[in-house]
Structure 1
Amino acid sequence: MPELRIDQEGFRLDGEAFRIISGALHYFRVHPGQWRDRLRKARLLGLNTVDTYVPWNLHEPRRGEFGADGGLDLARFLRLAAEEGLYVLLRPGPYICAEWEGGGLPSWLLAEPDMRLRSTDPRFLAAVDGFLARLLPLVAPFFGTRGGPVLAVQLENEFGAYGDDQPYLLRLAEMLRAHGVDVPLFTCDQPADLARGSVPGVLATANFGSRVDENLARLREHQPEGPLMCAEFWNGWFDRWGGPHASRAPESAAADLDRLLAAGASVNLYMFHGGTNFGFTSGANDKHTYRPTITSYDYGAPLDEAGDPAPTYAAFREVIARYAPVPDEPLPEPAKKLAQLGVRLPHRAGLLGQAAALGTAVRADRPLTLEELAATHGEGNGLGFVLYETDLDTPGPVLLHAPAVRDRAQVFVGGQPAGVLERESHEHALAFTVPAGGARLSVLVENQGRVNYGPAVHDRKGLLGPVTANGSALAGWTSRALPLDDLSGLAFEAAGAGPVVGPAFHRGEFDVTEPADTYLDVNGWTKGCAWVNGFALGRYWSRGPQRRLYVPGTALRAGRNELVLLELHATVRPTVDLRDTPDLGPTEE
């Protein structure tokens, strides 16, 4: 029975001294057909443990609708980890950060305008309790106390960077224990936040990527006894749209890992394998300027987005071998990749004209948020887009004012593009001319990812507040949630000779003899989303840095495959390429 104990000296497993050498591997960022492969490569690196968050918002996208199958089959993931001989650190939140949509908090919480997230607000605690009551019975058979691989469970996540509320943390600890968690609990915080984020009786761990001696000393000062552990050793970083691709030299990361292990500390690599923010799951940061995160979560990890060893893999394996047994097996070889150029997308379906096939319009005197549409009206899931429409009856010049666009609004007058308002650029106003006889005003708003860090996690989406035309509030709105989780209702037609005006879906097919990983190259396209065989690959944007989207080979099939792109603006070519190499963009010199 692999039962983890904590004493004054450190960790003990089944009575023997034990050092955790772990790596973060998020099951929800990896196609489930690839879980076993990634876990095997974790073991080959020399890891004895893997670490995963649990995204509440995926498991319970609507209040009371809990799911844990397919790509969310956490029990299967834990079973595979055990079969590979790996232990598990489980991090169920309720908040996970992770550069994930809303930090993992479900959007329906924000349907209540005064909801206080990550607090003792009774409504929030009741929702958390309901989530844990559904999740933990699935996990309980896998606790180490019952012969399973889960050694410890995290309490919240970097709470010290958010607030100073010990009653909230203690209440969460009570909930976890009440729902059957009988393995050790731990918290994790950046060293400066340890006092605010930790609670008595729960192991404190620290998160950092450098200044190892200094940060371990701060952890020891805060916690004089017990194991030293870096719960997130940042061996890489994430990227945002419009920025450079983050990069860290393998030698630098390996040297700091060596210092950490030489000090006798336990470690969790963040990340061992980053994976992908498939669909609409990427988060955002907002430190006075909103910055959405890209689709790839490669993170400069030892195992890259396609599960191939990066240069850091061999460097880390060499370091780990100095302190722990490493399997006497060769390094994993890169997997075969697929390349196919000039995949045609000859069929189109305009979004504005076929919006009714994608969602139901709800009438109100003001624009409704995505959270209101999902929680109050049962429309959508809080992700994707929302289409707002009303009539402009008076011809002539109009100054449209939308004080709070969340996050990017494309404005159309009579179906013709009139401009774009971006939250990231702090844009609120747009001028255009309404033709004689009036026109339909359509505003397509994209949720580019809810903020995942800091007080801005209270991040509602859509058009917030009154929208005015020449100073007068517009009324008579319809609000239509477009989650784009089912495209089967679209009626595609053969593309005409001219360019498409306005957002449109482009569909094509390609044949594959033997499915393999590949990368969707959207050079020449502007901004949008992509699906292969109905599987949502994520967002693309010519703003970069990412120029190609990872396509898991397990999402393809032998024979005919379908590819759909939603292009929000325009493309200069009717084709895309499938490449055998990634392109995450230029790095900062």
Structure 2
Amino acid sequence: MTTFTIGESDFLLDGSPFRILSGAIHYFRVHPGQWEDRIVAAREMGLNTIETYVAWNEHAPERGRFDTDGRLDLVGFLRLVQDAGMHAIVRPGPFICAEWDNGGLPGWLTRDCGEHIRRSDPAYLDAVGEYFAHVLPLLAPLQVDSGGPIILMQVENEYGAYGSDKGYLSTLADWMRAAGITVPLTTIDQPTDQMLADGSLPGLHKTASFGSNGRDRLARLRRHQPDGPLMCAEFWDGWFDHWGGRHNTTDPEEAARQLDEILSTGASVNIYMFHGGTNFGLTNGANHKGYYEPTTTSYDYDAPLSENGVRTQKYDAFRRVLSRYTEVPPLMRRDPAASPEFEVAFDTAARLLSVLAGDAGECFDTAPTMDELGAYRGLVLYRTNVRGGVLRFGEIRDRAHVLLDGRSIAVLEREHNDRAVDVPDGEGVLEILVEDQGRVNYGPRIGEAKGLIGPVTLNGAEVRGWEVLRVDTQHPGQYLERGGGDRPSVVGPVVARAVFELEEVADLHLSTAGLGKGMAWLNGWPLGRFWSRGPQQSLYAPEPATRAGRNELVVLALNGALPSRARFLAHPDRGPLEA
């Protein structure tokens, strides 16, 4: 039986010192058809371990449900890690942050628990217990002492930046042990005295997260973790992007120097990220440190292996550093070739609101939030009859396209703190299409409601009598089937389709320049959100989502006039490096 333990100064694999050289790959951010390729790339850079979070909200979009198929096949991903001769670190949360929608917490959970999350609250812990009852039995047989790849598991995530409820951490650790988790349990915090103290627990091994000044930060960690191995369990080698910002990059040689500084101390490391991947669909999170900033679809992170699987200069620089500390295998894997460049016409289009005009929604006296409706992501259409005047909202979360009798009168943005619009005189049908642009994933605003935050007033009186419909962002093609026939260039919200042939499967890069704002799907695979404000100006379509032969692109453009043709690029366009 293989063992993995913590010694006086080292991690011990079968009793011998073992340095963890890990890289983060989130299985839920990578098409499952590309998992093996990305894992092999990590091994060839010189890593011996793969780390991943578990995204609770992806597995459990509804309470009582736990999906593990397709891109959620956690066990299948970990088996591929093992097949590559590598070890695994699993971080099941329940909170993960990760710039992921709601920090990985399900919308139904935060709706029911409100602010009483990540603490010893009975309702919250009851839900966490259900989650652990699903996920821990999947992980226990995959531990190293059972012949699997898992050598470490983490309790919560950077908890010292959020709270200090030791009873809560103890409960999580106790439940893990009761479920048969025998490998060492760790915590992670940024290396400040307060965070390390608040986020840790006796008996759990402390690790740190940082991106520079490794020697000093590991020294601070050592003061809180006086024995055992030191580990930077998140070495931030890049950064994520926000809509409207610049594309973040770091100098490859400087990042390699920082990695070398960590390794020169004898510490273990987890490179966050080795391969960032993509926030497919509507899975991106957001930050709110005084103002709201949604994260882009691309989670390239300026990682050593790019979003589309290309080895970067950082990959080569890190490989040179790692070769000084471990034996690095030869490079056998090939980077993907340049993608085919072509244009294709949008052949069918349908005005979304025209199609929805005959659909009956749920009726409410006052405008509900999306959470009250049970809609935790995507788009919701609010309808009511009004006369002219000043329409005011308590708050917009996060973007509202306001129309009167089908004519656009305003787009209100949460970012701009827009809360009012002038409605023209006369009686008419008011429609408000609200987009959730991603739930906050870090800090005290985790779990806040989406949609129209009341009260909604017209000339000071609350508007009553609402009809509310959810827009289906899982099967957008239905709107074309029900209402196709419009010109593709009509002003949005419009759903449009383009059909094209490929001689063979290939990675594709859909140019989003000129598409305005919206979402796209290829053969049913959710490519994610696009927005002309950038920085990214293309969407990544992974090779396994394409087909030899007929392919179908569906685009939902929320505003502006959609161009008549879709364009595909040879390489991704992640935007300018300066805002």
TM-score (norm 1): 0.95
Counterpart CA distance in 2 for 1:499 and 1:261 is 55
Tell whether 2:314 aligns with 1:312.
yes
The answer (yes or no) to whether the contact 1:532–1:564 under 8 Å persists in 2 is yes
Q: Deviations over 1:401-454 (max 9, x none)?
A: 01111111111111110101111111111112043xx11111111110000000
Q: Which residue of 2 aligns with 1:377?
A: none
Runs of 4+ in structure 1 displaced over 6 angstroms? none
Q: Which residue of 1 aligns with 2:110?
A: 110
Q: Which residue of 1 aligns with 2:288?
A: 286
Q: Which residue of 1 aligns with 2:304?
A: 302
Q: Which residue of 1 aligns with 2:351?
A: 350
Q: Which residue of 2 aligns with 1:146?
A: 146
Q: Which residue of 2 aligns with 1:469?
A: 458
Question: What letter corresponds to residue 59 of structure 2 in structure 1?
Answer: H
Q: Which moved more, 1:54-63 or 1:423-432?
A: 423-432
Q: Which residue of 1 aligns with 2:201?
A: 199
Counterpart CA distance in 2 for 1:449 and 1:441 is 25
Counterpart CA distance in 2 for 1:54 and 1:473 is 42
The answer (yes or no) to whether the contact 2:491–2:561 under 8 Å persists in 1 is no
Q: Which residue of 2 aligns with 1:417?
A: 408
The answer (yes or no) to whether the contact 1:2–1:148 under 8 Å persists in 2 is no
Q: Which residue of 2 aligns with 1:446?
A: 435
**Cα offset for 1:28?**
0.3
The answer (yes or no) to whether the contact 1:115–1:124 under 8 Å persists in 2 is no
Tell whether 2:122 aligns with 1:122.
yes
The answer (yes or no) to whether the contact 1:360–1:481 under 8 Å persists in 2 is no
Q: Where in structure 2 are the equivalents of 1:84-95 lying within 5 Å? A: 84-95=84-95
Tell whether 2:418 aligns with 1:427.
yes
Q: Which residue of 2 aligns with 1:384?
A: 378
Q: Which residue of 2 aligns with 1:32?
A: 32
Q: Which residue of 1 aligns with 2:248?
A: 246
Counterpart CA distance in 2 for 1:342 and 1:114 is 47
Question: What letter corresponds to residue 388 of structure 1 in structure 2?
Answer: Y
**Cα offset for 1:499?**
4.4
Q: Deviations over 1:242-265 (max 9, x none)?
A: 001101000010001011111000
Q: Where in structure 2 are the equivalents of 1:486-497 lying within 5 Å? A: 486-492=475-481, 496=486
**Cα offset for 1:482?**
2.2
Q: Which residue of 2 aligns with 1:333?
A: 334
For residues 434 and 515 of structure 1, do their structure 2 counterparts lie closer, same or farther at Cα, with a shift above 3 Å needed? farther
**Cα offset for 1:333?**
3.1
Counterpart CA distance in 1 for 2:172 and 2:278 is 29
Counterpart CA distance in 2 for 1:516 and 1:114 is 44
Aligned sequence identity (%)? 49
For residues 283 and 483 of structure 1, do their structure 2 counterparts lie closer, same or farther at Cα, with a shift above 3 Å needed? farther
Question: What letter corresponds to residue 508 of structure 1 in structure 2?
Answer: A
Name the count of aligned residue pairs. Answer: 576
The answer (yes or no) to whether the contact 1:386–1:481 under 8 Å persists in 2 is yes
Q: Which residue of 1 aligns with 2:58?
A: 58
**Cα offset for 1:277?**
0.2
Task: Choose which of 559, 575, 579 in structure 1 pairs with 2:569.
Answer: 579
**Cα offset for 1:355?**
2.9
Q: Which residue of 1 aligns with 2:398?
A: 407
Tell whether 2:529 aligns with 1:539.
yes
For residues 420 and 122 of structure 1, do their structure 2 counterparts lie closer, same or farther at Cα, with a shift above 3 Å needed? same
CA RMSD of aligned residues (A): 1.5
**Cα offset for 1:496?**
4.7
**Cα offset for 1:548?**
0.5
Q: Which moved more, 1:577-586 or 1:1-10?
A: 1-10
Q: Which residue of 2 aligns with 1:558?
A: 548
Q: Structure 1 regions of 5+ residues with no counterpart?
A: 375-379
Q: Deviations over 1:130-173 (max 9, x none)?
A: 01101111222101121100001100000111112111111111
**Cα offset for 1:478?**
1.4
Question: What letter corresponds to residue 25 of structure 1 in structure 2?
Answer: I
Task: Choose which of 509, 518, 534 in structure 1 pairs with 2:508.
Answer: 518
Q: Which residue of 1 aligns with 2:222?
A: 220
Counterpart CA distance in 2 for 1:352 and 1:182 is 54
For residues 319 and 135 of structure 1, do their structure 2 counterparts lie closer, same or farther at Cα, with a shift above 3 Å needed? same
For residues 572 and 368 of structure 1, do their structure 2 counterparts lie closer, same or farther at Cα, with a shift above 3 Å needed? closer
The answer (yes or no) to whether the contact 2:346–2:488 under 8 Å persists in 1 is no
- Residue 534 of structure 2 aligns to a residue whose secondary structure is coil
**Cα offset for 1:34?**
0.3
- Residue 79 of structure 2 aligns to a residue whose secondary structure is helix
Counterpart CA distance in 1 for 2:105 and 2:560 is 34
The answer (yes or no) to whether the contact 1:2–1:149 under 8 Å persists in 2 is no
Counterpart CA distance in 2 for 1:360 and 1:10 is 63
Counterpart CA distance in 2 for 1:146 and 1:356 is 57
Counterpart CA distance in 2 for 1:481 and 1:404 is 19
Q: Which residue of 1 aligns with 2:80?
A: 80
